[in-house]
Structure 1
Amino acid sequence: MPDGLSRVGRWVDREADVEFALLGPFEMRVGGRNVPVGGPKQRALLAALSLQAGRPMPVEELVDVIWGHEQPANPRRAVQLYVSRLRETLNSLISDDIITTCGDGYCLRVAPGQTDLMRFRNWLSVAARAADEGDLDAEAEALATALAQWRRDPLAGVPSDKLQREIVPQLREEHLWTLERRFDVELRRRKHGEIVGELIALTAQHPLREKLWAQLVTALHASGRRGDALDAYHTVRRNLTDELGLDPGEELQALQALVLTGRPGATLGTSPGFLPVPRQLPPGAFAFVGRSKELSFLDTLLEDQHHASAMRISVISGTAGIGKTALAGHWARRVADQFPDGQLWMDLHGHGPGKSLSSGRALKRFLRALGTPVEEIPMEVDEQVDLYRSLMDGRRILVVLDNAESAAQARPLLPGATGSLVLVTSRTHLSGLVAAEGARPLVLDPLSPGEARSLLAARLGADRAATESAAVEEIIDLCARLPLALTVAAAHAASLGAAGLDSTATALRATRGPLKDFAVSDLTSWLPTVPVGSDVSGPHSPYLEAAQLSSASHSPRST
């Protein structure tokens, strides 16, 4: 016995001729040799008495253990017969009569060391005494000895529904609790690397047990394996979300924050607290249609993402109103659950009215969204970039940079983390990002004629679009199959009632030609023919309202 254990109280097994093994396949051993017990019901009877070793077990409980709901005509007499046969079997092997009658039941008379379950619990008592004295080494030794009593699943081979349903789950939980207690002790003893392998195996067996995962994350991080620690966190988060629809508990969330911002070897007590999870995606675009090839292209960005050697970036480019923002927003919402650490969205105002957003202002917004207090945000942009990339490292976040003016404007907002993915939308190709950062270009074309019809049908109703198909085709042609132009035209037609489609087509013909090269500021001038009594420039103009709604849905502001 270790010296540490002797300081907290010596406990020694008594040498015994007979032993009962419950923490694995049920066995009775005499003189160290496994001996047969008899039929299934005798095994269930002896297992039940062994579980209660030293304490009486009422006949009524034994009946439930042996027969369950299908009881014999005279259950008490049946128990007596099985006890008598079991006594005969045991008496042929050992001299003492160890099954005695106790009141309205029976008792197995054995010493504490004659069942592995009693030895297990006695060693737990030794560990508790060591813990009271603050002796980590003795506590670890006692817990290891307690766990050594286990062989496999408890009571394996015992044909009793009651024991398997009620007792076995309790024993399994007791075993897991002891394992977790031992890992806690080993973490306090700085034995991080020595328990990682066991924890990896146990978390695979118990994918929803948060305590084991927290211990694995801690052990990996303290061993200097920061990336593996974050991978472990994301795995348990995925398990909990997929199986239970839950997020990790407070301990795991605090550990993630510690791994992302702390130092190897730091403890949970030094954790900076929870990291916020930004959810900045705008509402989904109404009546989004088509773009199946483009969506499939973006889906390829997710392939092997977590094993990629570089961050994934795509630049979605195309003329104004072609649906760059709508596509980015629709796809981002579709894959948001694959980015459990959040989604960041920023309208950079690179094109259109007003001044574009500077990289510094955008960085400050992102840093606040990631939990940085305003007073801790650096003044210099270079330092802001460093802090931003440090906070993003190891996190799986989807970043959408909408309406970028140039590669120089977007570049400081690119995280360095390989788990993140970035979408950039712009009217220009941003060749600098393609060349230097390996961004994958996606150039949008106008909608196909079929997609354009589907958009108008979704906005106006399928029946109306089919009835007035000639006007629909003319509107599609005059709007150059641009989604934003079609959206505003549909809003104009809806505001005019029954004659709306023909009037809208007439109004579009009065413009200078198809709307191939429009600007957002020109939205209210597309349709110069105004219904009687309407005010194009007034606050309630149907054109202005449609333009504002479309502009809002295609260029959402970051929050």
Structure 2
Amino acid sequence: MRIQVLGTVRAWLGEQPVEFTSAGQRAVLGLLALAGGQPVTRPELIDSLWGDDPPASAVNVLQTYVKHLRRRLEPDRPARSRSLLLPHVGDGYALRATADTLDLLCFRHLHAQAAAARHVGDDRRAAALLEQALRQWQGAPLADVPQLAGHPKVVAVAAERAAALARYGELKIALGEVAEALPALEEAVAAQPLDEAGQARLIRAYAAAGRRADAFEVYHAARRRLADELGVDPGPELRAAHDAVLRAEAPVIAAESRPRRHVPAQLPADVPDFVGRDGELARLDALLGSPTVVISALSGTAGVGKTALAVRWAHRVRTGFPDGQLYINLRGYDAERPVAAGEALARFLRSLGVPGQEVPLDTDERADRYRSLLDGRRMLIVLDNASSVAQVRPLLPGTAGCLTVVTSRDALPGLVARHGARRLDLDLLPHADALALLRRLIGPRCDQDPAATDELAERCARLPLALRVAAELALSRPSVPLRQLVGELADERRRLSMLDAGGDPETGVRAVFSFSYRQLPEPAARAFRLLGLHPGPDVEPYAAAALFDTGVARARDLLESLAAAHLVQHHGSGRYALHDLLRAYASELALLDGDETGTARMLDAWLHTAQTAMITLHPAERDRYRLSTAPPLPMPPVGDPMAAQMWLDDERGNLAAAVAYAAVHDHSAHAVALTVTLLRYLEGGGHVAEAIAMHTHARDAARRTGDTAAEAQLLNNIALIYSQQGRFAQAAEYLGYAIDAARRCGDAAAETRALGNLGHVDAWLGRYESAAAHLREALALCRRTGDRPAEARVLGNLGQIYRRQGRHADAETHLRRSVELCRSISDHIGEAYVLVTLGHVEAGRGRLIDAADHHRAALTLFRRSTERGGEALALDGLGTAELALGDAAGFDHLLEALTIFRRLGERAGEAQAGNSIGEAHAAAGRPGAAREAHTAALSVAREIGDRYEQARAHSGLTAAAEALADGTAAATHRDAAEAILTEIGAPRPAPILTGTTRPA
């Protein structure tokens, strides 16, 4: 028995999850668990469950909850016998649990051991014990019992975790392991945002790790919260931490405390009851002595055990690869859903610590980054189910010390010839090993009829997968002699052979599948067929319920019955997957059955849940998502932001696969709607690779079905994604396609948006005349159609172009009109963007106080929304204005802006804020620091093609070189700045003044 309350309330009997049929049962179990073994009286339980207004039947209802809990948690307890787990104690109940059976008690036990270790001075052991204790937590205590969220015991237990987090952070800092402390300290601060001691601790840790910008951001965020919520200024401890950062008094970082490399551990679970393959394992062992990159290509027919062998061996040798193990199922033999090399590289890069927004869009660039990250590491990489050398080649490391294992049905001769792979061809299991596996799985019945066991091994073609399925079939029919089962299987095999005139070599395994499938009750058989239509890598009960057209509990039961028959596999907590050969077989059955309505139901469910989740995360944008009709089936719980985010993260792979599937299976509308719905989640979460892939599939579907309006919208989105990555040439190309599509279908709104975005791109590239022409065309169009929101955006962007050209009066006229329109339509985000530009115009005209006021107003509006990029723009503008007014706090705002831009992966903003910081250093008489900041900004600006920020960086580098008496460098940068400014038709940028346009 295991019980979990540090997160959702769950229980297991062995490996079997216990099903609770009501929230009341979970609430009672959770309250008893939080009491830590102490009795809880009935009045206390009733008060917790119903407060001041309990129903007249409260006692009876409580007794019913306890009765059902006892039945579920102690199913083997004789009737009317005393409960050992939930006994009566006085006028109440108690939960009899230990640290081995209840996660809360385990946490407390480890926490106490950590305190004892700390008491005797063993800080390293104390930190290790606290880390182990914190792993017990899966979320807020009793997370799925919302009525108890504010209960004193729940609050007290959450406080225990906060204290453990804080202590763990302190110990890690004391041990010189600052990078390892930061996640714990950040989490502690997020849980208690008004805890000044915790904020100060995090500031000191950031400073020790060299992340001064993050330290400043924490201080200013804390200062704002204290002022807004408590009306007080920071206390002495928080101020002291901030002052130390300002004076650059951060402690020295020990060598071992530098940011630790990510160490992925992605191997699947080892295969139970593994039999044989001793020779193959020995040959793999021999590869470990090679001083160079080794690629072992395991090839063999489907179901022969390639994956099982690779995973078994990988677990045997994993300790020899201290930098981690990467694993991916490339699904190379899935005709419709193989994993492209670029997608696999994106997954690996994220596993190696690359933020999603920094994953390159080009496959070759991803491969370069991947090989660079592996340089000098000793890692084990398992590439499972590859279909070709082309799918594998970009995933191969380029450094000594790494070892790659590739499994494939193909011999992959190109890997051997070009990359020196050692090929290991897997044959069928030797007859003796096949018998040994059957004996291990079935037991004594094999010895009772050895002849039937021999024949069963041959009927299964000595393929491990087929042997396991047949063994489970035998176990499910204990009264049927093995001889009878073998005879029935022989008939099935002959039937399949007659259907397959070509002599399919997989007839044996298909016969086993077919026979096992025919033993299923019809509901389970139907569920198996329908799973063949599921496009994603795994399935959870809610999606299965939509696919099967059942309730969630029933769907879970069907999945469990299929798992028991070895026709699906457990794939993480509450998730299930199919072996690729079984998937192919299920797909074949589904096509023969002709029932494709399940796919439509599942796509409907995914779409509605995705829209609901996005509305939960961004309620102000409800109208944007056009919520579809709710399917008549239960939906996953996505009503609170944390649950919505978790569902999107968990289902991202399935949603991406759903779009690819829908795009080529007559579900174009679903492909488009899902893609458009998820745009903000994908770009905001840094999942740029997935965003581009999904939009490409959806655009192709729209094009095939002649939905030109959808095509225009998707092309616009693709351009926006490229633009935010600083890939302006690609953005301009897609916007040209979008304009053409919009004109072909007469979609004036889409044309306006594309023209406005093209003006935005041209502005970044310094093509001001072209940008203004596109924007004026867009302005005329939206005025003709009466599109006031679009008119407000275009006016704001035109104002920015005129500001860049030094036409301040024209800029101010357009910007003030844009502000009026935004306010009239309650477009507060649009208003904020325009106020930022208006602030820069005011600064350019010498009205610095007005400029600062505009930026502060914009900052307030941005912080009421989720527009983090806009917040960074306002901070950059406010910082420049404050510095020009002599307020040193402006420098902190510039650092905060740079931090946000980098976290978002907004390269244009990073160049802009970097130049602002360089100008601030120059104004403060720090030419060396100014040169460093401008050099970094110039590198980013060149990378993305931002000509204005390039000129600004060259201007700053000119001033820095002059201050450092480097005449040659000053002349070089001065000439470069003048050349760019002449090219783009703009005056020299005024120091500490900047701005941006806003995409539509």
More contact order relative to length (CA 8 Å, sep ≥ 6): 1
TM-score, normalising length: structure 2: 0.28
Larger C-alpha radius of gyration, 1 or 2? Answer: 1
Instruction: Please identify which structure carries the higher helix content.
Output: 2
